[in-house]
Amino acid sequence: MAMKITPLGAAGEVTGSSFLLESGGEKFLVDCGLFQGGPESEERNREFSFDPKELSAVFLTHAHLDHCGRIPLLFKRGFRGKIFCTRPTRDLSQFILLDSAKVQEEDFLRQERRKKRAGEEALPPLYSESDVLFSLTLFFPVSLNSPLSLGRNLKVSFHQSGHVLGSAFLVFEEKGKRIVFSGDLGSPHRNVVPDPENPPECDLVFCESTYGDRSHKTLKESIDELALAINWAYGEGGNVVIPSFALERAQDVLFYLRNLRDQNLVPKNPVFLDSPLSISLTEVYQHYTQELDEELRAILSRGEDPFHFPGLEFTPTVEQSRAINLSNRVIVIAGSGMCQGGRVVHHLKHNLWREDSAIVFVGYQARNTLGRSIVDGAKKVHIFGEPVAVKARIFTINGFSAHGDREVLIDWLGHTGKAEIVLIHGEESSSISLREKLEELGRTIQIASPGKTYEV
């Protein structure tokens, strides 16, 4: 009996990560992520192409919503198996999934009011807060590098992938055959999370390709660019708005801001972390110092907090968030990372039209998102149904990315021996570009098709 894998999401696109794994007559799932961006995602999120009751277990690579966001729906539709992941991933997922249920509920109430007037019906939330709480009881934490036996012959192990706190790539083994799932891969030499481990030689590897078509600027160049954006906006009298993913990017940005201020490279004006979710996740990071990068542990051992500095204010309440709009020459870090909702949208409304403000994008912007249209140079966008002119200076800094670039991916794949490569988690142009480069290196490579079954 062979191992069979069928990509159900993140195939030819970046979001909705999910892979069905069949082994020894049992069915497993690797990740159960949310599709994000565009109205069609709403529909796709509602359906599973398998019966959740038939799944034996789920393996979760990390806590980003596009990897874990449909787990409560899986519970709601009858799944009662274990969800294996690292301990930090479990703790981060709690906050991320509860926040997701809350955001869905709020969206629903807002849409319901609007649609009622048009005589239409709004789509109910995918799941409730109680679905989240029940699904959390199924989470089963595992340690890195400790193989786990499942089913008749299947073994799985989790390994450091250097993407966010707790993130792992997975190695499955059955009767001498080996499959690797990269999950999302980070770059070596970042300061907050450890470097990714090298994968073993294997027969088949599913590898992400988010940035398969480009090389990131170095971390040093990116930090310099961040300082430039801040100094430029302060010089003009404007603000700096940093749309940020709540997980990892927010903590990275806090860490780099702390360093820039320590070295007097930027003025010590107020900084607001305006995201209740980021605030909770930063607390999880503070609990798992032993899982973080060496450089960071050194700061902690001096009794300092790497994610805090004088002048940084956490603003959990809506009143505190509103009050920020009255300030000038401040930095606001807020979610959501692709500006599809959350408090950052309000800050964009107050700053996009200002010629003296800077909007600093530090993360990936998927197609059909507000963030992507701004990055792509839109002169006008719609916020809460109203047109807003884009006059602020836009900075796109990709060196903070939690995803490795083309060179990192090629180097990592170099350790997998002669494994057949299936590229996942990338827009088409990015995967094609990476495929060409890998073919030059003599590798056998395909770009994942959703619904196609791969076998070893």
Task: Tell the smallest beta-carbon distance from residue 79 to Zn ion (Å).
Answer: 22
Task: Tell the smallest beta-carbon distance from residue 31 to Zn ion (Å).
Answer: 10
Name the residue nearer to Zn ion (CB basis): 31 or 225.
31
Angle, helices 406-413 vs 428-440, to 10°: value is: 50
Burial zone of 12 (CB within 10 Å; 0-12 exposed, 13-18 middle, 19+ buried)? middle
Piece of the chain touching Zn ion by CB under 5 A; list 62-70, 196-204, 229-237, 334-342? 62-70
Name the residue nearer to Zn ion (CB basis): 190 or 393.
190
Binding to Zn ion (CB under 5 A): which residues in 325-364? none
Name the residue nearer to Zn ion (CB basis): 89 or 351.
89
How many other C-beta atoms lie within 10 A of the C-beta of residue 421? 23
Q: Which residues pair with 117 in a beta bridge?
A: none
Task: Tell the smallest beta-carbon distance from residue 155 to Zn ion (Å).
Answer: 25
Distance in angstroms (rounded) separating the CA atoms of residues 20 and 74? 13
Binding letters toward Zn ion, positions 129-168, x by CB under 5 A: ----------------------------------------
Piece of the chain touching Zn ion by CB under 5 A; list 64-72, 75-83, 315-323, 370-378? 64-72
Task: Tell the smallest beta-carbon distance from residue 162 to Zn ion (Å).
Answer: 11
Piece of the chain touching Zn ion by CB under 5 A; list 41-49, 184-192, 201-209, 233-241? 184-192
Distance in angstroms (rounded) separating the CA atoms of residues 219 and 252? 11
Name the residue nearer to Zn ion (CB basis): 72 or 186.
186
Name the residue nearer to Zn ion (CB basis): 184 or 203.
184
3 state SS for 266-311: CCCCCEEECCHHHHHHHHHHHHCHHHCCHHHHHHHHCCCCCCCCCC
Distance in angstroms (rounded) separating the CA atoms of residues 428 and 366? 12
Q: Strand 82-86 to strand 240-243: parallel, antiparallel, or no bridges (unpaired)?
A: unpaired
Sign of CA dihedral 198, 201, 205, 209: positive
Name the residue nearer to Zn ion (CB basis): 64 or 70.
64
How many other C-beta atoms lie within 10 A of the C-beta of residue 54? 11
Task: Tell the smallest beta-carbon distance from residue 320 to Zn ion (Å).
Answer: 29
Name the residue nearer to Zn ion (CB basis): 99 or 184.
184
Piece of the chain touching Zn ion by CB under 5 A; list 56-64, 90-98, 203-211, 268-276? 56-64
Piece of the chain touching Zn ion by CB under 5 A; list 20-28, 180-188, 237-245, 437-445? 180-188
Phi-psi region of 201 (alpha: psi -120 to 50; beta: other; left: phi over 0): beta
Task: Tell the smallest beta-carbon distance from residue 263 to Zn ion (Å).
Answer: 30
Cβ-contact 274, 343 below 8 angstroms: yes
Question: Which of 8, 58, 63, 64 is close enough to bind Zn ion by CB under 5 A?
Answer: 64
Does 178 participate in binding Zn ion (rule CB under 5 A)? Answer: no
Task: Tell the smallest beta-carbon distance from residue 40 to Zn ion (Å).
Answer: 21
Name the residue nearer to Zn ion (CB basis): 91 or 173.
91
Q: Give the distance, in angstroms, between the CA of residue 347 and the centroid of all CA atoms in the same chain.
A: 22
Piece of the chain touching Zn ion by CB under 5 A; list 80-88, 94-102, 182-190, 448-456? 182-190
Phi first, then psi: give them for residue 126, nearest 5 degrees.
Answer: -65, -35
Does 184 participate in binding Zn ion (rule CB under 5 A)? Answer: yes
List the structure tokens of 174. 């059955």
Name the residue nearer to Zn ion (CB basis): 173 or 184.
184
Task: Tell the smallest beta-carbon distance from residue 163 to Zn ion (Å).
Answer: 6
How many other C-beta atoms lie within 10 A of the C-beta of residue 198? 13
Piece of the chain touching Zn ion by CB under 5 A; list 176-184, 223-231, 318-326, 443-451? 176-184
Amino acid letter for position 131? D
Measuring CA to CA, which residue among 207, 134, 140 is closest to residue 411? 207
Name the residue nearer to Zn ion (CB basis): 27 or 249.
249
Cβ-contact 159, 200 below 8 angstroms: no
Name the residue nearer to Zn ion (CB basis): 55 or 246.
246
Distance in angstroms (rounded) separating the CA atoms of residues 70 and 101? 10
Count of residues near Zn ion by CB under 5 A:
2
Task: Tell the smallest beta-carbon distance from residue 410 to Zn ion (Å).
Answer: 20
Task: Tell the smallest beta-carbon distance from residue 278 to Zn ion (Å).
Answer: 15
Piece of the chain touching Zn ion by CB under 5 A; list 61-69, 187-195, 210-218, 405-413? 61-69
Which residues, other chains included, contact 100 with Cβ-Cβ below 8 Å and sequence gap of 6+?
34, 65, 69, 72, 132
Does 225 participate in binding Zn ion (rule CB under 5 A)? Answer: no
Residues that bind Zn ion (CB under 5 A): 64, 184
